[in-house]
Amino acid sequence: MEPALIGTRLASAAIGPLLKKLLVSDGPGAGLTAPADKVRLSSLVSFRGERRTLGDKDVRRLAGTLVERSLSGDGEPPFPADETEAVTDTLAKTLLALGDLDMDDVQAVRLGHRDLARRLRTAAPPPDGLATDSALYLESLTEWACLHILEFFTQRSTFVARSLVEQTRAQAELIAKVDEVIRRTPRADSRDTDFERRYLEHLAKRHGRLTIYGIDLHHSPDRWPLDLAYLSLEATGEAPVPGVIDEPLAPHQREQAVRADLALSRHDKVLLRGLAGSGKTTLVQWLTVSAATEARADGMTYLRGRVPFVLPLRALTRHGEPLPAPGRFLPAAGCPLTPPDGWADRVLAAGRGVVLIDGIDEIPEAERGRAREWLRSLLDTYEGNRWLVTSRPTAVRDDWLAGDGFTELTLSPMTRSEVTAFVRRWHRAAGPEAEPYELPLLDALRTTEHVAQLATNPLMCGLICALHRDRRGFLPRGRKALYEAALSMLLARRDRERDMGAPSGLALDEAPQIQLIQRLAYWLTLNGRTQLDRAHAESLVREAVPAVQEAAHHPPDTVFTHLLHRSGLLREPTEDTVDFIHRTFQDYLAAKALVERWDIGVLIGHAADDQWEDVIRMAVGHARPHECAEILRELLKAADAAPNRPLQLRLVLLAATALEHATEVLQQVREQVVARTGKVIPPADPDEARELAAVGRLVLDLLPGPEGLSDEDAETVVITATHITVDAAIPYLSRFVTHPALDVRAQLVWGWQRFEARPYAESIIARLDPTDLRFVLTDDERAVELLRLGLRPDQLEIYEAVSDEQVTALLARGDLRQLMLIRSTASRSLEAVASQSNLEVLSLQLPGEVPFRLTELPAAAPLKRLFFRFAPADGLRGLARYPDLHHLALGSGALTADSWRELAALPLLTSLVVDADSLDALPADVVLPAVGTLHLLPGAHRSHSLEPVAAAFPALRHILGRGLALHGAEHLPPHIQITFS
């Protein structure tokens, strides 16, 4: 019942005096000379202190009168009649809690009647077994009573005086804080402001357009607005959500999906891995433009006020020179603007930077250690910024930057829905002439396996779209044929289709251009580079021109200029450098040159180098049958001689993936490769399983069924199959739906996000035993299928792409035992969470700008484990209503002394995750008797003392943390293990 409706039944003139009895009369003045304990609410109520005029029984009779009068009148009673006594008792206890609130009348009025009512309900003993209607009635009546109580407070003669005093004090405190912030903040003069505006405008223009391959035919531009061409992809990783350790909803070995462009909203430091063409550099452009412009896409507001620094490592280390300090960031990256002295240092020192380091894999392996030390030096010097480092998957080992606080994520292959979205955007960007080809291509992607296998990243999708249109609805088969057709389109047909004639003064056919350009690709690959000086590039072409008959009678400089400006394969990132428009074309042409030279020793000698993986695969595609057989045999020999299993596996898988590119190969050699691949099946662990999946569709024919497999082997083969996103994987995976192992069934649920929602749901999800199984929902499609199938799991993990409407519908299906809810913006779905009365585990991953309160959580749920990304906005008051809580993770946000006291009231709390800054507020008299594991998260301060820990945590056995400087460990008992990185 609403307070207004109750008010129609309770006349204020008659009931006001009843509520006024709860308060004592006041005297003049602001009460500044009274003892400190006399200005709290406990001194303003008539049932506390020396001036007590009411006893507990009197308050109970007053509550009974309020209830009785609210029930008078016509209409249906608001709650069951047999609960009148219980309602009256609960109301009396709630009103008595007014004397227990730690605030004064000014603070109470500032809260408002609804928040004051919530505070009273939290402070009072919880109601015991009331019906829902009774509980709702009590909430409304308490709010109505608080409305009157606050009205009485504002009528007190001391209220205005106290309000003015509080306002004066607050203003003085605010002025002092602002003065301190100004004192600590480096002063930026108008030159900084003016330059920053120009710099952001420059970045928005420079990175705001994107090449969509092949659109530049028939008078169409060759670059398109980034906001039209950009497609947000997902990334997965094994790092737990910040602030959560050993979380049952997100175990360390369970992969999580996150929108790649939102990764930096969750993690300050990200190492992002992705295959060539997967969209790493495009993501860097998108983040740059999102930070540089005001018109930000959904979810990108976290970059507001940030200044991006784009640092392509291939450009910074062209000559092996030292990597730049912040003052050299802009000129080293080719920015023509000159900043004021010290500008970059001031931006980074203030923690306003977004440092985007693109392409660890594009510098030689010998230089990557030096790059890491350079990065560490920056991290140690400039705190509070956001950092993104990109790399190909195998360029650096796992956990390469984990010790520096980086979360490792990997760009996922495009799902079917993402491929469909890309194709539609491409054709919209290409204009009305491309429209007739859109639906036929989408049909081909659904029905033609070799086309669908190639369409796994934005580069390949763009090439397929371009070639499909260019060839009027026909596509080449296989990757080698695709690249040959793409080169033909770019080298021979582009200018002809655009009626360009010979703008450079000469016309060269496709073959001589390839012969010359592949010299550049060969040199770059052999020297571990992706960029070279223009002068060096000119000299390489000059040396090659006399041997190429069609070009020999033209001046070498003219030939070079033609290749640079008209081939469509080369570009000038700066005035004096040259590179390929994409690394994949460099690899393809380098492989062609290596096979023509028959440098097989060079190929095999670099087989363990991640930069050469695609080169070797494409070399097999270029090779003739006997050459192909020799390359594959040499790879198997190298695997036999490998000093360790990871390298052995890598080389065997390289041979297997290269086999897919072979046009023709001896049957004996094919059988040898397939047999060797079979020896690594089933894979030994999840990492090997994912590597094995890189082989592709071929692996499905080698994977064993569930019969006779151990639980561990069954899990690894299912991991492999869920990473091979072709329709043929679904029948294979469906053989495991009745498997008894939880890890196997959990992997089947996780794999759902990588396949089309409905076929996978009907074949696998609907047939799984849901016992102890957590259902992961990454988007609305999967949520709709779960509802359509009538499934009622008791464990859900819901990501931000699932709409509030679907979340509400899912939670309305029944009570959950475990729930993880991830939101990136303010959400109405929290209201549905409050209805879950059976929750034992709850994880709320909300952004910091969306505050929430403990009062919004289920009031009577038997919570045992509770996880927050950010600590509640109003502290931990009321947490004691969860006496069974034994694991609590609070994420970012330092605790207050009052919050520590709330934690001390939890008798079973054994594991605690808090911001390390919270140690500064730990009261000397607080004891948490059962906590055995304490996990400290980095806060605003880097250094902390462990001295107060020993007394507060008598049962402590283990302290965990990362990125902190601690001292005072000598005060701890020797049996406490401290693990910090």
The pLDDT value given to residue 216: 47
Please report the pLDDT score of residue 73 as a whole number: 62
Q: What's the mean pLDDT when you consider all of the chain?
A: 81
Nearest to 602 by CA among 588, 616, 584: 616
Q: Does residue 208 share a domain with residue 162?
A: no
Least confident of 545-554, 860-869, 877-886: 545-554
Closest CA relative to residue 965, chosen from 903, 916, 930: 916
Long-range contacts of 426-433 (CB under 8 A, 24+ apart): 426/212, 426/215, 426/461, 426/462, 426/465, 427/465, 427/469, 428/228, 429/212, 429/215, 429/224, 429/228, 429/229, 430/212, 430/215, 430/220, 430/465, 430/469, 431/220, 433/218
User: For residue 435, is pLDDT > 80?
Assistant: yes
Query: Hey, which bits of 495-576 come out as E strands?
Result: 532-533, 570-571
Q: 157 and 74 share a domain?
A: yes
pLDDT score of 450: 61
List residues bridging with 309 in a β-sheet.
355
Residue 176 has pLDDT above 90, yes or no: no
Lowest mean pLDDT among 438-442, 467-471, 515-519: 467-471
With bands split at pLDDT 50, 70 and 90, how would you rate the model's confidence at 86? confident
pLDDT for 551-575, tens place per residue?
A: 877 888 888 888 887 676 787 777 7
Residue 169 shares a structural domain with residue 205: no
Whether residues 113 and 167 share a domain: the answer is yes
Domain annotation covers residue 594? no
- Residues 227 and 138 both lie in one domain: no
Contact 537, 516 (CB under 8 A): no
pLDDT confidence of residue 253: 39
Cα(843)–Cα(591) distance, integer angstroms: 50
* Radius of gyration for the chain, computed over Cα atoms and rounded to the nearest angstrom: 34
Nearest to 289 by CA among 237, 371, 240, 230: 230
Shared-domain flag, residues 169 and 252: no
Question: What number is the average pLDDT over the span 847-874?
Answer: 81
* Count of beta carbons in the 10 Å neighbourhood of residue 177: 10
Cα(552)–Cα(542) distance, rounded to whole angstroms? 10
Higher pLDDT, 429 or 592: 592
Token pair in block for residue 246: 């050993």
For residue 561, give Cα distances in angstroms to 26, 555, 611, 753: 91, 10, 28, 48
Task: Write the pLDDT tens digit of every residue in 470-486.
Answer: 778 888 777 777 788 87
pLDDT at position 590 over 80? yes
Region 666-677: what's the mean pLDDT? 89
DSSP string covering 632-664, please? HHHHHHHHHT-SSHHHHHHHHHHHHHHHTT-SS
Using CA atoms, how far apart are residues 619 and 606, in angstroms rounded to an integer? 13
- Tell me 23's DSSP state: B
- What does the pLDDT average to over 732-752? 94
Q: Compute the half-sphere exposure of residue 282: CA atoms within 13 Å on the CB side of its CA.
A: 28
What is the number of structural domains in the chain?
Answer: 3
| Average pLDDT, integer, range 934-943 | 79
Whether 870 shows a pLDDT value over 60: the answer reads yes
- End-of-domain residue from the set 412, 439, 457: 412
Residue 276 in this model has a pLDDT that exceeds 70: no
Residue located via tokens 């090997």: 688
Cα distances (angstroms) measured from residue 156 to each of 105, 109, 718: 10, 12, 71
528 CB burial (10 A radius; 0-12, 13-18, 19+) = middle
Please give the average per-residue pLDDT across 262-270, as a whole number. 90
Q: What is the mean pLDDT of residues 867-894?
A: 85
Q: Determine contact, residues 612/635, Cβ cutoff 8 Å.
A: no
Q: CB under 8 Å to 624, separation ≥6 — which residues?
A: 664
The arithmetic mean of pLDDT across residues 394-414, rounded, is 82
Domain end: 378, 412, 446, which one?
A: 412
Mean pLDDT, rounded, for 811-831:
82
534-544 and 510-526 are packed helices; what angle lies between their axes, rounded to 10 degrees? 130
The torsion region of residue 854 among left (phi > 0), alpha (psi -120 to 50) and beta comes to: alpha
For the ranges 227-236, 543-552, 918-927, which has the lowest average pLDDT?
227-236
Asked if the structure places residue 522 within a domain, the reply is no
**Does the pLDDT at position 38 exceed 50?**
no
List pLDDT tens digits, range 942-957.
677 788 888 889 999 9
Residue 854 lies in a domain: no
H helix or E strand, kind and range, residue 304: none
**Two tokens at 44?**
């303003």
- Write b or e for each residue in 678-707: b if 16 or more Cβ atoms lie within 10 A of its Cβ, otherwise e: eebbbbeebebbbbbbbbbbebbebbeebe
Q: Is the pTM of this model over 0.75?
A: no
Better pLDDT: 344 or 48: 344
pLDDT at 765 over 90: yes
pLDDT digits (tens, 9 = 90+) for 771-813: 889 999 988 999 999 999 988 899 999 988 888 889 999 998 8
**Residue 398 CB contacts under 8 Å (≥ 6 apart), including other chains:** 408, 687
Helices assigned H by DSSP within 724-833: 729-734, 742-751, 757-763, 780-788, 804-811, 830-833
- Mean of pLDDT values over 914-922: 87
- Tell me if 248 is assigned to some domain: yes
Q: Which residues contact 551 (CB under 8 A, 6 or more apart)?
A: 508, 512, 516, 545, 559
788 vs 777: CA distance, rounded Å? 14
pLDDT score, position 81? 81
Nearest-angstrom CA–CA distance, 691 and 688: 5
The two tokens of residue 428 are 């919209």
| 880 strand-pairing partners | none
Strand partners, 912: 888, 934
Q: Which two tokens stand for residue 68?
A: 């009785």
Q: Which pLDDT band holds residue 70 (cuts at 50, 70, 90)?
A: confident
600 found inside a domain: no
Q: Are residues 203 and 171 in the same domain?
A: no
Give yes or no: residues 168 and 210 share one domain: no
- The SS3 of residue 88 is helix
- Nearest in space to 354 (alpha carbons), one of 236, 183, 210, 199: 199
No. of helices (H) and no. of strands (E), the chain: 42, 24
pLDDT band at 497 (very low <50, low <70, confident <90, very high): very low
Q: How confident is the model at residue 56 (pLDDT cuts 50, 70, 90)?
A: confident
Write out the H or E segment, with its range, that includes residue 144. helix 132-155
User: Could you tell me where the beta strands, DSSP code E, fall in 333-466?
Assistant: 353-358, 386-391, 407-411
Determine phi and psi for 980, rounding to 5 degrees. Answer: -135, 145
Q: What is the pLDDT of residue 338?
A: 93
Q: Tell me if 142 is assigned to some domain.
A: yes
Residues 116, 235, single domain; the answer is: no
Same domain, 12 and 47: yes
454 vs 460: CA distance, rounded Å: 6
Average pLDDT (272-293) is: 86
Strands 943-945, 965-967: pairing kind: parallel
Question: Rounded to whole angstroms, how far apart are CA atoms 464 and 546?
Answer: 35
- What is the reported pLDDT for 250? 38
Q: Identify the CATH number of the domain in which residue 211 sits.
A: 3.40.50.300
With a cut of 90, say whether residue 748 has pLDDT above it.
yes
| Other beta carbons within 10 Å of 590 | 25
Same domain, residue pair 252 and 112: no
Q: Identify the domain containing residue 156 by its residue range.
A: 3-175
- What is the pairing mode between strands 577-580 and 570-571? antiparallel
As to burial, measured by CB atoms within 10 angstroms (0-12 exposed, 13-18 middle, 19+ buried), residue 117 is buried
Please state, in angstroms and as integers, the Cα–Cα distance from residue 306 to each residue in 265, 289, 348, 765, following that order.
12, 11, 10, 43
Neighbours of 797 (CB within 10 A): 22
User: CA quadruple 196, 201, 204, 209: dihedral positive or negative?
Assistant: negative
Mean pLDDT over residues 612-627, rounded? 91
Task: Return the minimum-mean-pLDDT range out of 241-250, 588-597, 778-787.
Answer: 241-250
* Contact status, residue 972 vs residue 945, Cβ threshold 8 Å: no
Task: Identify the pLDDT of residue 931.
Answer: 93
Picking from 366, 382, 412, the residue at the C-terminal end of a domain is 412
**Predicted confidence (pLDDT) at residue 886 exceeds the cutoff of 50:** yes
Nearest 5 degrees, angle CA 941-CA 301-CA 806?
110
Helices 416-430, 458-470: inter-axial angle, 10-degree rounding:
50
- Mean pLDDT for 322-337 is 90
pLDDT at 520: 94
How far apart CA 262 and CA 270 sit, in angstroms, is 11
User: What would the two tokens of residue 273 be?
Assistant: 């891995």
280 part of a folded domain: yes
The per-residue b/e assignment along 10-19, b for 16 or more CB within 10 angstroms, e otherwise, is beeeebeebb
User: What values do phi and psi take at 976, rounded to 5?
Assistant: -80, 120
Tell me if 977 is assigned to some domain: yes
DSSP states along 583-633:
HHHHHHHHHHHHHHHT-HHHHHHTTT-GGGHHHHHHHHHHS-HHHHHHHHH
* In a shared domain, residues 161 and 219: no
Portion of the chain with pLDDT greater than 70, in percent: 86
pLDDT at 124: 81
Contacts of residue 370, defined as CB under 8 A and 6 or more positions apart, other chains included, come to 323
